[in-house]
Amino acid sequence: MFDDLRPLINSITDSNNTTESKLQKICELLKSEIPHYDWVGFYFKNGDKKELKLGPYAGEPTDHTIIPFGKGICGQVAESNKNFVVPDVQAQDNYIACSITVKAEIVVPLFVNEENIGQIDIDSNTPNPFTKADETFLEFVNFEVAKIL
């Protein structure tokens, strides 16, 4: 499945659309093509502030448009610079609930010139759905996205 999506990601990033449009299309592609991806979004560092700001996303609207560094899974990744896979969100103390249906989350940081400038965030309504293949694929997505930022 992921191998089939790689050329589609490349065709989006290589297109003549705006960066915002490309990110939106990536979110929509991942949400529609990967059954356990129920919400897909990008968060970006908000200027010089120690917070993340919601960018393009696909899925239910969220109230979490600004996330302070250190808060929730996304905020922790902003500080750790490492992937964070949460098989069961209920087991996490520092979790910001976006929806009662969310069971698991994966967040992969996005680096430009070795600086963590944001992340891709995936919520799943399926318990423990994420594998190493998800991590590797999302690292690929972020690597391609970094080229257009």
CATH number of the domain where residue 46 is located: 3.30.450.40
State the Cα–Cα distance between residues 149 and 147, nearest whole angstrom. Answer: 6
By 3-state DSSP, what share of the chain in percent is helix, strand and coil, each rounded to 5? Answer: 35, 25, 35
Q: Is the confidence at residue 61, as pLDDT, over 80?
A: yes
Position 58 scores a pLDDT of 98
Burial class (CB in 10 A: 0-12, 13-18, 19+), 4: exposed
Q: Is the confidence at residue 96, as pLDDT, over 90?
A: no
State the Cα–Cα distance between residues 65 and 29, nearest whole angstrom. Answer: 21
Confidence of residue 106 (pLDDT cuts 50, 70, 90): very high
Instruction: Indicate yes or no: pTM above 0.75.
Output: yes
Domain housing 77: 2-146
Collect all residues with Cβ–Cβ distance below 8 Å to 142 and sequence separation of at least 6.
108, 109, 110, 111, 119, 120
Count the domains in the chain.
Answer: 1
